[in-house]
Amino acid sequence: MAKYQYQTEVGQLLNLMAHSLYSNKEIFLRELISNANDALDKFNYLHLTDEKFKNEDWSPEINIKLDKEDNSIAVSDNGIGMNEEDLIQNLGTIAKSGTKAFLEELAKNKDKKIDSNLIGQFGVGFYSVFMVADVVEVITKKAGEDKAYKFISDGSGEFEVKEVIKDSHGTVVYLKLKEDAKEFLEPNRIKEIVKKYSNHIPYKIYLNYKEEIEEDGKKKIENKKELINEATALWALPKGEIKDEEYIEFYKTTWGDFEEPLTWIHTIAEGSLEYKTLFYIPKHAPADIYRADFKPGVKLYVKRVFITDNEKELLPLYLRFVRGIIDSEDLPLNISREMLQENRILANIKQASVKKILNHIKRLDKEKFDIFIKEYNKLIKEGIYTDLTNKELLLEIVRYKSSAVEGLTSLDEYIEREKDKENRKKEIYYIIGDDENILRHSPLLEPYKKNNLEVLIMDDKEIDEIVAPSITEYKGWKFVDISMVEPPKTKEDEKELETLEKEYKELTIKIKDILGENVKDVKVTNRLEESPSCVVPDSSDPMVSMRHMFKMMGQEEPELPLILELNAKHPLIKKLKESKDEEFIKDSAYILLDSAKLAEGLEVKDKVEFSKRVTKLLNRAL
C-alpha cells in the first residue's frame, strides 16, 4: 500500500467539503454518474474499433447500490477503468488548474458558503462526494490491463492506493455515508435525483436495493434492480419532444456546471450531410478560458458512439467557451486525430455550426446578449482577427465603449448615429489604450469632441491593438485610429495651421534640438483645445507596424517613435515662444513631453527628473 499527499489546494478544498459548507449535497450523485458515463463512452469506442475488445460480450450500464445496513452507497460502471497512474492523476490532483482559482474565488465570500455555480465552473465536482461521505473508496481496473487498484480517502491531507483483485474492467465508487446523509439510502430519493439530473445519460442506470415485502402473510427481503432513467441520447431526439428543463439538466450533468446555461442551439441536419449538434453557451466563462491548457468543451460522436472530448479545434479556438456535442452519421468510427483535422465532412459541419452559433448569439434578447458580451466580448474580438470567413458577422456582434453614449455600442449603432451629420466622412474613429479614464480625457479626443464626432474607446489594449487595425472597414466605413491621423479639418483650419507653422518654426526647432532622440519630431497643431501638448506616433514610420508584429510573436516591443505636437493657442506655448530664458524653455520642453505621455498612458523615462522639473517651475511661478 502506498500513501500520497494531496496537493495543497486539494487538501484545503477537501477540508471545506468535509465540513458540509455546501447546501446542494445531492449533486455528488450527478458527478459520479457523469464520470461513469465518460468511462462508458471511452470503452464503447474501444469495443467498436479495437480488435482486442471487439469480441467482448459487453453491455454498458451504470449501477447504484444502496445498503442501509452498511450505511453505504456504491456507484459502479463497466467502462474503461483506471490504472494506478490514472487514479493518482485524476483523484489526487484532479483539478490542478481549477482548485486554486476555486479557493481564491471562495475566499472572497465572507460567509464561506460554497456557491453552487462555483464548484462546477472551476471543475472540482468529484470532491462533492466528501459532503456526504466519511470515507470514499474507488476500486478500479483498466481495460486491457491485469492489475486492479483501490483508492481510499477520508478527505484529510492524504490518500492511499493499493493493489486489489477485480475480475472485470470498470470502476466502483463506494461511499461510507455520514450520519446526516442517510436520505440518500432511500430508493425514491435516488430515483428523484437521477430523473432530475441524469435522465438522458445515454446508458442504462440501474438502482439496486433491498425491499421488505409481505408474501403469504410473511415478511421477507427481496433484492430489487430497477432501470431508473430513459437512457436516450438527448441530442438525437426531435427538438419538439424535449422540454427546456431537460436541456438544462443534460447540460449541467454532462459539463458539470451548477448553473443554467445562458442559451443553447440544437440542430438536426439531414440531406447531403447528416449530423446532429447541441451547443450550449455557459452563463459564465469557464475558469480556464484564457489558459493555454484549457479543456475543450465539445464532444465528438459518430452514430452516437463517443470519439473524443479532447480535440480543441472541433470549433474555432475563439469559440472555446462553447460546450456541446457533434454527432455525425457520415464519419468513420476509427477516424484518427490527424484525419479529424483534415476531414472535409467535419470541416463542413464546423463551418455550418459556427454560423448557427453566431447567428443565434446575434438574435439573443437584450438581457442575455448583455451577459454574453460581458463574458465573451474579448473572444469575439479574437474571432474578428482569426476568422475571416465570419468576420462580418462577428463585427455585428462585438461591442465597444464610446465617447458619445453610456455603456457599450455596436458598430451599426455608431454608423446610425453618425451617418446623417453634415460633411461626415464614412469613418469610424477609435482610440486604443489600457485605461478608460485616460482615454476619455486624452488630448487627442479634443478636436473630435469639438466637432461632435464619436470615437470608440478601446481600453483592452492587449487585444485591441492587434484586432482594430485588422478590421480596416465595416459596411463601407473605414476604421481610423485617431492617434495615427490628423483630425478632420476645414479649409480655414488648414490655412490657420500654415500660418502657425511659420510663426512657431523657431520654437519647434529649438525644442526638437533639446529633446533630441526622445522624439521623432516637434510640430505645432490646431487640433488641441485645452491641453498644451500631445504625443502621436509617426504613422509613416515602419517601426509602428513592426510593434504589432513583435507583440504577436510574444517579443518585447520596440520603442514607439513619437511626434510632440504643441498647442499654439495655449498661453504656455505662447510664453515659450516669447521667452529668452533657455533654462525655462529646456525644462518646459521636457515637461510638455512627459505630461503629454502621461495623458496618453505612456511611461515617462525619468520620473525623478520629471518631478524635479515640475517643482523647479512651481518655485519659479511663486
* Residue (of 577, 558, 579, 557) closest to 567 by Cα position: 577
Residue 388, domain member (yes or no): no
Least confident range of 143-147, 193-197, 568-572, 585-589: 193-197
User: Which tens digits make up the pLDDT trace of 278-317?
Assistant: 999 999 998 889 988 888 999 999 888 888 888 898 999 9
In the predicted structure, residue 117 carries a pLDDT above the cut 70: no
Q: Are residues 103 and 155 in the same domain?
A: yes
Q: Are residues 346 and 419 in the same domain?
A: no
Residue 389, domain member (yes or no): no
Residue 528, domain member (yes or no): yes
Q: Are residues 21 and 163 in the same domain?
A: yes
Task: Please state, in angstroms and rounded to a whole number, the distance separating the CA atoms of residues 552 and 150.
Answer: 48
Residue 386, domain member (yes or no): no
Residue with cell 486539494: 10
Residue 391, domain member (yes or no): no
Confidence of residue 427 (pLDDT cuts 50, 70, 90): very high
Q: Are residues 170 and 277 in the same domain?
A: no
E-state strands within 297-445: 298-302, 305-308, 323-328, 400-402, 408-409, 427-432
Q: Are residues 99 and 187 in the same domain?
A: yes
Q: Are residues 364 and 414 in the same domain?
A: no
Q: pTM, whole model, 2 decimals?
A: 0.74
Domain boundary among 438, 453, 488: 488
User: Which tens digits make up the pLDDT trace of 385-426?
Assistant: 999 999 999 999 999 999 999 999 999 999 999 988 876 789
Crossing angle, helix 244-255 and helix 187-197, to 10 degrees?
100
Task: Please state, in angstroms and rounded to a whole number, the distance separating the CA atoms of residues 304 and 251.
Answer: 17
Enter the C-alpha cell of residue 201. Answer: 445519460
Domain boundary among 440, 468, 488: 488
Q: How far apart are the first and last CA of the chain?
A: 82
Task: Please state, in angstroms and rounded to a whole number, the distance separating the CA atoms of residues 267 and 575.
Answer: 71
Least confident range of 16-25, 146-155, 489-498: 16-25
Q: Are residues 34 and 79 in the same domain?
A: yes
In the predicted structure, residue 355 carries a pLDDT above the cut 70: yes
Range of the domain at 469: 399-488
Count of the separate structural domains present in the chain: 4
What's the confidence (pLDDT) of residue 566?
94
Domain boundary among 227, 260, 294: 227
| Strand 148-153, strand 2-5: pairing | unpaired
In the predicted structure, residue 120 carries a pLDDT above the cut 60: no
Run of H or E residues at 523: strand 521-525
Q: Are residues 243 and 255 in the same domain?
A: yes
In the predicted structure, residue 482 carries a pLDDT above the cut 70: yes
Q: In the chain, what percentage of residues exceed pLDDT 70?
A: 88
Enter the C-alpha cell of residue 576. Answer: 515659450
Q: Can you give the CATH number for the domain in which 476 is found? A: 3.40.50.11260
Mean pLDDT computed over 240-267? 92
Enter the C-alpha cell of residue 281. Answer: 453557451
Least confident range of 143-157, 326-340, 524-538: 326-340
Q: Can you give the CATH number for the domain in which 298 is found? A: 3.30.230.80
Q: Are residues 496 and 404 in the same domain?
A: no
User: Which tens digits make up the pLDDT trace of 306-342?
Assistant: 888 888 989 999 999 999 999 999 988 777 767 777 8
C-alpha atoms less than 13 angstroms from C-alpha of 261 in its C-beta half-sphere: 25
Task: Please state, in angstroms and rounded to a whole number, the distance separating the CA atoms of residues 454 and 236.
Answer: 49
Task: Please state, in angstroms and rounded to a whole number, the distance separating the CA atoms of residues 300 and 306.
Answer: 6
Q: Can you give the CATH number for the domain in which 37 is found? A: 3.30.565.10
Residue 51, domain member (yes or no): yes
Residue 393, domain member (yes or no): no
Q: Are residues 289 and 438 in the same domain?
A: no
What's the confidence (pLDDT) of residue 23?
57
Confidence of residue 2 (pLDDT cuts 50, 70, 90): confident
The per-residue pLDDT of the chain, averaged, comes to 87
Confidence of residue 105 (pLDDT cuts 50, 70, 90): low
Q: Are residues 609 and 528 in the same domain?
A: yes
What is the distance of C-alpha 40 from the center of its chain? 29
Q: Can you give the CATH number for the domain in which 502 is found? A: 1.20.120.790
> For residues 8 and 72, which has the higher predicted lDDT (pLDDT)?
72
What's the confidence (pLDDT) of residue 537?
85
User: Which tens digits make up the pLDDT trace of 258-267?
Assistant: 899 999 999 9
Q: Are residues 501 and 591 in the same domain?
A: yes
Confidence of residue 468 (pLDDT cuts 50, 70, 90): very high
Contact 479, 426 (CB under 8 A): no
Confidence of residue 9 (pLDDT cuts 50, 70, 90): low
Confidence of residue 543 (pLDDT cuts 50, 70, 90): low
Residue 285, domain member (yes or no): yes
∠ CA 90-91-96, rounded to 5°:
65
What's the confidence (pLDDT) of residue 89?
79
User: Which tens digits make up the pLDDT trace of 35-63?
Assistant: 899 899 999 989 988 999 999 999 999 99
The values of phi and psi at residue 512, to 5°, are -65, -40
